Amino acid sequence: MLTSELMENHLLLTDVVPSMPQLLDNAKPLRTRTSEPAIPPPYPETAYQWLADVLDGLIDFGQRHGHYGVINLSDGEYEWLDDILEKLIYSIGENENHPLAPLMEFIIRLIANYEEKYVPKLTELYPELAEEAPIKTTNKNSKPSPYASELSNSALAAHGFFSIGCLLWEGGQSEKALAAYDTAIRLLPDYAEVYNNRGNIKSGLGSHDAALDDYNEAICLNPNFMNSYINRGIVQLGLNNIDKARSDFQAALELAERHGDNNLKTFVEAKLQQLNNSTQ
């Protein structure tokens, strides 16, 4: 059968991988990967379970407070966020391209918003200290990056949930990954990359019509989103919608040529040629 032959020939969906520099500057190239759980996963199962617990906690946190902006944290919430941040700093350091870097920046923002609004500075408690030379004690890794400082609270939170979803899908936790992506979209409804990745999970779970809806939305939000055209074409091909698949691959090819993406151009040309040969 035509579609099964093509699907078996390494025609796989593509996820976008979070990167703080690219999330702020769309001119930077997307980081991508094959959209399927890694076998074996690159991290131990306990790490993915910890991340799933962080996701549940952050969703509950947002529901309690109604937002992710300036919040008067309880002692327990502050200690919980500080513990998450400590673990993230240990794992990520200054690697702004780490998939969980957006989550770390989100946690830093929550803590910084609280401290700036509700925690008195030492110079306010002890005015005599203002006359002395300042002593820098802040760990440089706990300071927000210049990228994060330009994002709204909701946008940074959405990027944080995007990064959680990306890693949980990699670890095979599809339902938790969907919950993370759903939350990211609620916070930032025009987040094309999340629609793309969520569509991939839905396709992997067999919900092809719902996946197509997500790809359609991603392309509506970003008509130059080459990866979403390819992903939609692959799903259309799996549904035996040959003409629609060919149209999506052709659109991706035109975009690849326009943007000078030779690797993607070569890939799509090969699939179009294979598709054309199979239908003759």
Domain end (from 170, 189, 208): 189
Residue span of the structural domain in which 222 resides: 192-280
Same domain, 44 and 182: yes
**CB of 246 closer than 8 Å to CB of 232:** no
**CB of 55 closer than 8 Å to CB of 176:** yes
Alpha-carbon distance 92 to 120, whole Å? 29
Q: Which of 117-126, 164-173, 259-268 has the lowest mean pLDDT?
A: 117-126
Range 98-114 burial, b when 16+ CB lie within 10 A, else e: bbbbbbbbbbbbbbbbb
Domain end (from 168, 189, 210): 189
32 lies in some domain: no
CATH number at residue 215: 1.25.40.10
pLDDT score of 36: 82
Range 190-224 burial, b when 16+ CB lie within 10 A, else e: ebbbbbbbbbbbbbeeeeeeebbebbebbbebbee
pLDDT score of 140: 41
Same domain, 59 and 130: yes
Domain end (from 189, 207, 222): 189
**If pLDDT is split at 50, 70 and 90, which confidence band does 8 have?**
very low
Same domain, 204 and 183: no
Same domain, 85 and 175: yes
Same domain, 49 and 167: yes
The whole-angstrom distance between residue 123's C-alpha and the CA centroid of its chain comes to: 40
27 lies in some domain: no
Q: Retrieve residue 164's tokens.
A: 């959680």
pLDDT score of 138: 45
Class of residue 135 by CB neighbours under 10 A (exposed 0-12, middle 13-18, buried 19+) = exposed
77 lies in some domain: yes
pLDDT score of 136: 44
Cα distances (angstroms) measured from residue 170 to each of 96, 144, 192, 216, 231: 19, 26, 19, 23, 17
φ and ψ at residue 189, rounded to 5 degrees: -65, -15
Same domain, 91 and 121: yes
pLDDT tens, 180-218?
999 999 999 999 999 999 999 999 999 999 999 999 999
Same domain, 261 and 155: no
pLDDT score of 148: 65
Q: Concatenated DSSP letters for 11-64?
A: ---EEEEP-HHHHH-TTSPPEEEESS--SS-SS-HHHHHHHHHHHHHHHHHHHH
28 lies in some domain: no
Q: Concatenated DSSP letters for 114-149?
A: HHHHHSPPHHHH-GGGGGSPP-----GGGSPPTTGG
Mean pLDDT, range 217-225, rounded to an integer: 96
Same domain, 69 and 153: yes
Given a cut of 80, whether residue 221 has pLDDT beyond it is yes
Given a cut of 90, whether residue 89 has pLDDT beyond it is yes
Mean pLDDT, range 99-123, rounded to an integer: 86
**If pLDDT is split at 50, 70 and 90, which confidence band does 147 have?**
low
The total domain count for the chain is 2
9 lies in some domain: no
Element holding 113 (H helix, E strand): helix 101-118
Alpha-carbon distance 276 to 242, whole Å? 10
Find the helix packing angle between 45-65 and 174-187, rounded to 10°: 30
Cβ count within 10 A of residue 267: 18
Mean pLDDT, range 98-123, rounded to an integer: 86
7 lies in some domain: no
4 lies in some domain: no
Same domain, 161 and 234: no
10 lies in some domain: no
Same domain, 45 and 184: yes
Same domain, 169 and 199: no
Same domain, 222 and 250: yes
pLDDT tens, 56-73?
999 999 999 999 999 999
Q: What is the pTM of this model?
A: 0.87
The whole-angstrom distance between residue 72's C-alpha and the CA centroid of its chain comes to: 27
